[in-house]
């Protein structure tokens, strides 16, 4: 159960923080949830709606969502929790960086 929760949180973080703030308006991610299969592989599509190619870099950091006092969803990163649940040292993304041509989509697995 802890391992499944760790995977969910890591993937949720990936989806929420895959892109820098400058590219959020031009890059979309689908589906909004990624579930790892029996072999530990999950995939998604990255779409670029900008007029120019965009580079996307993927990295991992353990965190989990919570809602602040204003009802806004935020991510929480706590070192004590990281030591128990984090999978970021065991999860790899390939390629780590990719360029998405303008007005196109790329699968990312």
Nearest to 9 by CA among 60, 59, 71: 60
pLDDT at 3 over 70: no
Domain chopping of the chain, boundaries: 2-108
Nearest to 95 by CA among 61, 57, 62, 60: 57
**Residue pLDDT, tens place only, 17-62:** 444 444 456 888 787 666 677 887 888 888 999 999 999 887 777 7
Alpha-carbon distance values, 98 to 30, 42, 68, 70, 78 (Å): 16, 17, 33, 36, 29
84 contacts 64 by C-beta, under 8 angstroms: no
2 contacts 84 by C-beta, under 8 angstroms: yes
Full-model pTM = 0.54
């Amino acid at each position: 159960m802890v391992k499944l929760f760790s995977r969910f949180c890591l993937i949720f973080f990936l989806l929420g923080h895959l892109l820098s703030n400058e590219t959020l308006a031009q890059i979309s991610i689908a589906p909004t949830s990624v579930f790892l299969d029996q072999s530990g592989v999950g995939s998604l599509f990255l779409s670029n709606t900008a007029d120019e190619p965009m580079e996307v870099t993927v990295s991992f950091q353990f965190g989990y969502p919570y809602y602040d006092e204003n009802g806004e969803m935020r991510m929480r990163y706590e070192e004590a929790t990281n030591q128990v649940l984090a999978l970021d040292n065991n999860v790899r993304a390939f390629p780590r960086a990719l360029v998405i041509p303008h007005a196109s989509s790329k699968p990312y697995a």
